[in-house]
Structure 1
Amino acid sequence: MVKTVTLIVFGVIIAAATLLDSGHMAQACSFILWNTNGRAALAARTMDLYVDEKPRLVYLPRGIARRGVAGPNAATWTSKYASAVLTAFDTAASDGMNEAGLSAHLLYLHGTEYEPADHRPGVSNRQWVQFVLDNFATVADAVEALKQVRIVSEQAFGREWPLHLALADASGDGAVIEFVKGRAVIHHGKDVTVMTNEPTLDEQLANLKRYKMFGGDLSMPGDIDPMSRFVRAASYLKTLPQPSDASEGVGRLAGILRSVAVPFGAVDTSGGGSVDSWPTRWGTVANLTDKIYYIMPVNSPNVFWVDFSKLSPTSKEILAVPAYDAGLSGEVSAQLKPFSSVQTPFPPSP
């Protein structure tokens, strides 16, 4: 039987409203791809958010029917690949990977201007991650297919929300997709390895050249501004030693992730445009080669993960577990419960 699910409201959208009301730009999240370690392609990110979005780890099997937007000219599809995602407010994926070893990571980008309406079928920016994970095995395939749909900014709480997307796959390929002045800007290749928030990736890369490890004369910054986090992540990634195996690689990449995390109570002293400090609530590392998805919540010293080889992609049930369960540790596939049992079923398609 085909399952039908629509993901409606992304937690970052909810969280951003208050700060935008006050006139501040938002800052949140960092992404890192380590594709040169010789053991596994590893993609990591932090989620920095000023409100608890009550994330769940959700396993979504194949065969889920979706509609990209409410109303006419919507993209429609049935998921080809199973995926494990972290949700926000039980309603959408902000991060995840699929059974083919493709990962997708949604981050905030102040100043995003989405493409104007045209003939292409629409996919909500709130379903961007799931559209990719449901349909594609590689970054190249996802990037090409995304040219054939239009990412639609749907309002939530009376507002539009600026987002950009990072992708990675088991071959070590990477991409960042941004919308700048009404057009899609795609950075694609194995050299696309770091993303934070504002400004755009072009500006981040230009700024990086001012620092010692990239041809400039400035020392590595230590503050929590997104430009500083970008420099720090890129610098540490450049000198990260080769691991003895994939598990050690996950640990070493997690060390960089912690270096760009924002502690609770931190104050941004950089003087940059992002004046608000959103604490890091969780991080993830996706082992795209071995199909293992690691979650690192900051409310617990534990790390837990799901190994795709222990889950059935043809299951008829959506499975979930609260990501902030402090008792979670190690491989938790057996601890996932039917999504309906947690009394927060995904809403039906329009």
Structure 2
Amino acid sequence: ITPFELIPWLLGQFSSVREVKKNIQKLNLININFSEQLPLSPLHWLVADKQESIVIESVKEGLKIYDNPVGVLTNNPNFDYQLFNLNNYRALSNSTPQNSFSEKVDLDSYSRGMGGLGLPGDLSSMSRFVRAAFTKLNSLPMQTETGSVSQFFHILGSVEQQKGLCEVTKGKYEYTIYSSCCDMDKGVYYYRTYNNSQINSVNLSHEHLDTTELISYPLRSEAQYYAVN
């Protein structure tokens, strides 16, 4: 199959990451563009269920499958290097660090959050991987669905890109078009867009899913404001 067919093929064939890992090695991705206007690009795929997460990468040697202990994925470089790069940030902490510079110098913790000094803040995919992993692994779990959804979007917000900061071609910029997540127990899909920070939801269980008809909803991409006065 082609790379742009991989996700629907996996969703249509398997019900767990374990099944994917067992069968993915039989797969061969072929070099066919979606169209002349949309040529193939190097892709990395994150596949997850309630129990585990893996990363699939297509390289010269074939398909590489990695267990994903951090549950995060960004673009290049390859995933094994992304994981190794986390070693460079092992001193990061969510608490105030101790002075290990020297016993001869009394250094003051003049601000909260100094355990995160050195956390990369640039827009490269490798830096965003580190920032997303640190944020996700240290964020507090919420006890309610609304709290969990809100926390999820705050985590993704730590690595979102704003218009004008990353030029792709002259006058065109890379930015976060949308963010989304899904409640796998209730089948509720949540999203927000660049121009509409309100969290919107689509409940899949409210539809007849055993059908060949495509079900779609208008994208709520315009800003929504709640007037308090």
Q: TM-score, normalised by structure 1?
A: 0.51
Task: Confirm or deny that 1:209 pairs with 2:209.
Answer: no
Select 2:41's aligned residue among 147, 161, 168: 161
Task: Confirm or deny that 1:236 pairs with 2:135.
Answer: yes
Which whole-Å CA distance do the structure 2 matches of 1:181 and 1:213 have between them?
35
Q: Flag the 1:315–1:160 CA change in 2: closer, same or farther, 3 A.
A: closer
What is the DSSP-based 3-state SS (H/G/I as helix, E as strand, rest coil) of the residue aligned with 1:221?
coil
Q: 1:259: Cα distance to partner? A: 0.9
Amino acid at match of 1:278: E
Q: 1:316: Cα distance to partner? A: 4.1
Query: Mean Cα displacement is larger for which, 280-289 or 194-203?
Result: 280-289
Which whole-Å CA distance do the structure 1 matches of 2:224 and 2:151 have between them?
21
Correspondences of 1:58-77 after superposition (within 5 Å): none
Select 1:139's aligned residue among 17, 28, 43: 17
What is the DSSP-based 3-state SS (H/G/I as helix, E as strand, rest coil) of the residue aligned with 2:216?
strand
Which whole-Å CA distance do the structure 1 matches of 2:180 and 2:212 have between them?
26
Residues 151-194 of structure 1, C-alpha deviations (whole Å, 9 max, x = no match): 2221232844211211111x2311100022232110135x1511
Larger strand proportion of the pair:
1
Select 2:72's aligned residue among 178, 189, 194: 194
Correspondences of 1:210-229 after superposition (within 5 Å): 210-211=88-89, 212-213=91-92, 219-229=118-128
2:194 touches 2:221 (CA, 8 Å); kept in 1?
A: no
What is the DSSP-based 3-state SS (H/G/I as helix, E as strand, rest coil) of the residue aligned with 1:126?
helix
Unaligned runs of 5+ in 1: 1-122, 269-275, 330-350
Larger helix proportion of the pair:
2
Q: 1:195: Cα distance to partner? A: 0.7
Q: 1:145: Cα distance to partner? A: 2.4
Which whole-Å CA distance do the structure 2 matches of 1:267 and 1:126 have between them?
25
1:284 touches 1:294 (CA, 8 Å); kept in 2?
A: yes
Report the RMSD for the aligned CA atoms in angstroms.
2.5
Task: Confirm or deny that 1:278 pairs with 2:158.
Answer: no
Q: TM-score, normalised by structure 2?
A: 0.77
What is the DSSP-based 3-state SS (H/G/I as helix, E as strand, rest coil) of the residue aligned with 1:142?
helix
Q: 1:327: Cα distance to partner? A: 8.1
